[in-house]
């Protein structure tokens, strides 16, 4: 079994040939129907690096299969270009949005990525140009390791190839003056479309420090507003997950748009009011409460979250501050108050403009 292009490369064999259908998932039942027979599934390169191997292994017992990996498309691309692979970002975009690359885009960065087909290469060039990185070099690598192998190089902003054949991958040398998403907490507020309901950059950096992301954890961001806390949480590690809880439909939609634009499409947006909407969500490791803090929500969290869950809540109003002071008296934890001022024009001079102070409670339940 395999794609027609793989089967066409085989010599004359007595074996039955079965073309793997499109979409890929439709081939799984066909494969399982052949249980008990000797079956070879042909896939490209290393099947366990952005390949089909893990999908097939989930449907078979460990005793039923054996993998014989070949050089991956990433290894072949690096070998053609002379790039040290350990210094290259390797991404699978054949079934994922281009925005997955957004956190990687900075001048001088090298990326190797699989893409869906030849048309997708042109779409990627357009996307890079719109993001401000039209000066990037795109190495178009077709049919690597096969008799149709071909390598061509274009500038994203001038991309004009119309005859790119599948299978294809791309290698990018990023260049341009587009906005760069940095690696530390406290991204620019400009990265997040909002209606004013946003945790501002300095407080967001302090909050992410309190949330202390650890690999593999799941965050609830309750009263998410623009989604900036949940999105920065996801940016800190690819293994993290997050649910943004937002009661207003317009804000929930805006959160989804922010997530798509910043390449964090794994963010789950749950529209509804806390605490009612919380019961149906996957169990979190960490919870942040920003907007919409109420006594009912705090009571629900204290009563329903398991021991060991980390909880961070920010308050601006006197009423919500009183809730956190009371919670700290019951549960312990740490109370902090942040007073931040920024220099602003004051006539012909400048003066300090003070933001509302923020009280933060953090605790391990």
Q: What is the DSSP string of 3-46?
A: -HHHHTTS---SS---BPPSSGGGHHHHHHTTTTS------SS-
CA distance 201 to 191: 10
Confirm if 253 and 260 have CB atoms less than 8 A apart.
no
Confirm if 244 and 255 have CB atoms less than 8 A apart.
yes
The pLDDT of residue 115 is 96
Interval 102-161: pLDDT, tens: 999 999 999 999 999 999 999 999 999 999 999 999 999 999 998 899 999 999 999 999
The pLDDT of residue 350 is 96
Interval 112-124: pLDDT, tens: 999 999 999 999 9
Q: Is the pLDDT of residue 34 over 90?
A: yes
Interval 208-247: pLDDT, tens: 999 999 999 999 999 999 999 999 999 999 999 999 999 9
Q: Average pLDDT for residues 34-44, to the nearest whole number?
A: 93
The DSSP line for 84-129 is -GGGSEEEEETTS-GGGGGGG--TT-EEEEEESSHHHHHHHHHHHH
Q: Is the pLDDT of residue 315 over 90?
A: yes
The class level of CATH for 73-173 reads: alpha beta
Q: Is the pLDDT of residue 361 over 90?
A: yes
Q: Is the pLDDT of residue 249 over 90?
A: yes
**Per-domain residue ranges for the chain?**
4-64, 73-173, 189-364
Share of the chain residues as helix, strand and coil, in percent rounded to the nearest 5: 35, 20, 45
Q: Is the pLDDT of residue 44 over 90?
A: no
pLDDT bucket at 318, cuts 50 / 70 / 90: very high
Which tokens in the block code for residue 11?
A: 């010599």
CA distance 73 to 94: 12
Share of the chain above pLDDT 90, in %: 91
Q: Average model confidence (pLDDT) for the chain?
A: 95
CA distance 36 to 33: 9
Q: Which CATH number fits domain 189-364: 3.40.50.300, 3.20.20.70, 3.30.365.10, 3.40.50.150?
A: 3.40.50.150
Q: Is the pLDDT of residue 184 over 90?
A: no
Which tokens in the block code for residue 361?
A: 């409670």
The pLDDT of residue 340 is 94
Instruction: Output DSSP code: residue 2.
Output: B
The pLDDT of residue 20 is 95
Which tokens in the block code for residue 87?
A: 């210094």
User: Which is it for the CA torsion 288, 294, 299, 300, positive or negative?
Assistant: negative
């Amino acid at each position: 079994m395999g794609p027609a292009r793989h089967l066409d490369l085989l010599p004359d064999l007595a074996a039955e040939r079965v073309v793997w259908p499109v979409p890929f998932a439709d081939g799984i039942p066909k494969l399982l129907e052949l249980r008990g027979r000797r079956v070879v599934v042909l896939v490209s390169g290393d099947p366990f690096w952005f390949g089909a191997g893990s999908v097939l292994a989930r449907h078979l017992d460990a005793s039923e299969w054996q993998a014989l990996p070949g050089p991956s498309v990433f290894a072949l691309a690096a070998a053609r270009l002379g790039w040290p692979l350990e210094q290259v970002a390797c991404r699978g975009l054949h079934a994922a949005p281009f925005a997955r690359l957004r956190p990687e885009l900075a001048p001088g960065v090298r990326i190797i990525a699989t893409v869906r087909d030849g048309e997708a290469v042109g779409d990627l060039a357009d996307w890079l140009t719109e993001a401000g990185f039209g000066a990037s070099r795109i190495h178009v690598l077709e049919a690597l390791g096969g008799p149709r192998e071909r390598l061509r190089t274009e500038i994203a902003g001038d991309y004009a190839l119309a005859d790119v054949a599948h299978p294809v991958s791309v290698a990018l040398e990023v260049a341009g003056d587009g906005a760069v998403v940095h690696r530390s907490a406290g991204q620019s507020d400009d990265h997040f479309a909002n209606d004013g309901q946003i945790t501002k950059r300095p407080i967001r950096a302090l909050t992410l420090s309190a949330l202390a992301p650890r690999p593999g954890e799941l965050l609830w961001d309750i009263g998410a507003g623009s989604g900036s806390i949940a999105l920065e949480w996801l940016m800190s590690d690819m293994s993290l997950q997050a649910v943004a809880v937002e009661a207003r439909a317009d804000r929930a939609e805006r959160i989804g748009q922010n997530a798509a634009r910043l390449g964090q499409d794994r963010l789950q947006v749950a529209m509804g009011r806390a605490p009612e909407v919380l019961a149906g969500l996957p169990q979190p490791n960490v919870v942040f409460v920003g907007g919409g803090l109420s006594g009912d929500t705090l009571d629900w969290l204290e009563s329903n979250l398991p021991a060991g869950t980390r909880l961070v809540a920010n308050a601006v109003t006197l009423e919500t501050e009183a809730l956190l002071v009371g919670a700290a008296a019951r549960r312990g934890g740490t109370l902090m108050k942040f007073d931040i001022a920024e220099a602003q024009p004051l006539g012909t001079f400048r003066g300090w403009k003070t933001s509302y102070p923020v009280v933060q409670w953090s605790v391990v339940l």
